[in-house]
Amino acid sequence: MSKDSKEESTGIESDLVNLARLAASESLEDTRLFLARLIRKYRQSHPDLASRLDQSLKSTQTRSSGNSVLRRGAPVSDSSEAALPVDGDSRLALIRVFDDRAGLASPILPNSVHDAIGAIIRERQESQRLAARGISPTRSAILVGPPGVGKTLSARWIASSLGKSLWVLDLTAVMSSLLGKTGNNLRAALDHAKKHAAVLLLDEIDAIAKRRSDESDIGELKRLVTVMLQEVDQWPDSGLLLAATNHPELVDPALWRRFDMVVKFDAPDAASIGVAIKRFLGDDQEVFKSWIDVLAAGLQGQSLSDVERSINALRRGHALQTASIEKLISSAIDQRQEDLSKAERLNLAIELAKAGQHTHMQISQMTGVARDTIRKHAGPSPRKGRGLK
């Protein structure tokens, strides 16, 4: 045997002995981690061996019994995230991670919400000053509001401002396991978050309450709410517990009371919609400059998530030149048109006519209001093409 191959086989022998020792100790997690290390080590020099080891590693993951609730999730870069819990039966991840540590654009929010979110962040950043006076920072907050207004986004923003990933508890996964285990699942996930001083979001927290209507589940759900009550009460200063819901009426009042702060999100106002349109237009802002007011008027009442969807469709249409700008604008606000009452549509048409950027013909196309009606309310049409590109 040459010196090289002798050294090599000694390496393999000692790895084998170590692997056997770990397997004998019945520490499945350590065995798996060691196997993963061996696969990396031998991938270049012994590809066949590495791929066979890889198969054994995979089979340990799928065959594992469902006795324990906590299992390792998929490996990720952050060491604290390397052991994210998954449900023992379904193997669904109990916690999802949003990693915006590289930075995230701030959400567009009315002042009151912006200030509340800002306070949560500042208190964390200056927690030592608070601690010196024996004061705890806000440990828990519940974000309430209609869909698509930036609740989840604000939670991501808070975490990213604090240089952390946002952990989101997947309540569907928590509740997907066998009856009787959901309480354990919930506790395991929450304990894990507490241990790592995470920013944890309980998204759609009403999911727990909603299921209460299902009689067969009632005992189980009561237990879940009890777990939740205890956990919110005992949440440590080092962690931050956020919850979000668009059904505040479904959240147990006892649970509701336990959050340190309630942040109310409303549907966006006109100013926010204007800012959002400009942001979502991105590099195309210049192209659509003379249409921004029209879009803002036409998209009133939409959530920012819907505004984003409309603007993205508009930009795609423009990039691929699927139709004229007028047509694209009109279909961007078309969706909303169906929700507008006749009076609201007339108002929109009058506003647009007064702004003088578009001909009555164009306004009529966009709003569905007859040209005569527009003229009756707003006077004659501006000179053709005025203000148009």
Ligand X SMILES: Nc1ncnc2c1ncn2[C@@H]1O[C@H](COP(=O)(O)OP(=O)(O)OP(=O)(O)O)[C@@H](O)[C@H]1O
Q: How far is the CB of 278 from ligand X (least distance, A)?
A: 12
Chosen residue from 304, 328, 348, 366 binding ligand X by CB under 6 A: 304
Residue 61, interface with ligand X (CB under 6 A)?
no
- The site partner of 147 among ligand X, Mg ion, none (C-beta below 5 to 8 Å per kind) is ligand X
Residue 96 near residue 167 (C-beta atoms within 8 A): yes
Chosen residue from 47, 147, 180, 219 binding ligand X by CB under 6 A: 147
- The site partner of 193 among Mg ion, ligand X, none (C-beta below 5 to 8 Å per kind) is none
- Name which of 164, 188, 191, 161 is nearest 174 in CA terms: 188
- The site partner of 333 among ligand X, Mg ion, none (C-beta below 5 to 8 Å per kind) is none
With respect to Mg ion, which residue has the nearer C-beta, 304 or 352? 304
Q: Where are the beta strands (DSSP E) in 223-277?
A: 240-245, 261-264
With respect to ligand X, which residue has the nearer C-beta, 52 or 264? 264
With respect to ligand X, which residue has the nearer C-beta, 264 or 389? 264
Chosen residue from 31, 138, 140, 152 binding Mg ion by CB under 5 A: 152
Residue 149, interface with ligand X (CB under 6 A)?
yes
169: Cβ contacts below 8 Å, ≥ 6 apart = 94, 95, 186, 189, 190, 193, 200, 201, 202, 203
Q: How far is the CB of 328 from Mg ion (least distance, A)?
A: 29
Hey, what are 374's tokens? 């527009």
Residue 71 near residue 86 (C-beta atoms within 8 A): yes
Q: How far is the CB of 377 from ligand X (least distance, A)?
A: 34
Q: How far is the CB of 286 from ligand X (least distance, A)?
A: 21
Residue 152, interface with ligand X (CB under 6 A)?
yes
* Per-residue contact string for residues 259-278; x = within reach of ligand X by CB under 6 A: -----------------x--
Hey, what are 140's tokens? 């828990």
Given the rule CB under 5 A, which of 86-94, 143-151, 232-240, 370-378 is the region that contacts Mg ion?
A: 143-151
SS3 168: strand
DSSP line for 272-285: HHHHHHHHHHGGGT
Q: Residue 3 CA to chain centroid, in angstroms?
A: 56
Site residues for ligand X, 275-294, by CB under 6 A, read 276
Q: How far is the CB of 142 from Mg ion (least distance, A)?
A: 13
* Per-residue contact string for residues 80-119; x = within reach of ligand X by CB under 6 A: ---------------------------xxx----------
Residue 148, interface with ligand X (CB under 6 A)?
yes
207: Cβ contacts below 8 Å, ≥ 6 apart = 171, 172, 175
Residue 315 near residue 284 (C-beta atoms within 8 A): yes
Any bridge partners for residue 143, and if so which? 244, 263
Tally Cβ neighbours within 10 Å of residue 304.
24
With respect to Mg ion, which residue has the nearer C-beta, 152 or 161? 152
- Supply φ then ψ for residue 96, to 5 degrees: -105, 150
Pairing verdict, β 199-202 and 166-169: parallel
Site residues for ligand X, 176-235, by CB under 6 A, read none
DSSP line for 95-130: EEEE--TT--PPP---HHHHHHHHHHHHHHHTHHHH
Residue 202 near residue 167 (C-beta atoms within 8 A): no
Site residues for ligand X, 237-256, by CB under 6 A, read 244, 246
Residue 154, interface with Mg ion (CB under 5 A)?
no
Residue 357 near residue 332 (C-beta atoms within 8 A): no
Q: How far is the CB of 110 from ligand X (least distance, A)?
A: 9
Q: How far is the CB of 332 from ligand X (least distance, A)?
A: 16
- The site partner of 246 among ligand X, Mg ion, none (C-beta below 5 to 8 Å per kind) is ligand X
d(CA 124, CA 119): 9
Hey, what are 347's tokens? 């108002």
Given the rule CB under 6 A, which of 1-9, 124-132, 147-155, 287-295 is the region that contacts ligand X?
A: 147-155
Q: What number of chain residues touch ligand X (CB under 6 A)?
A: 16
Give residues in contact with Mg ion (CB under 5 A): 151-152
Give residues in contact with ligand X (CB under 6 A): 107-109, 147-153, 244, 246, 276, 304-305, 308
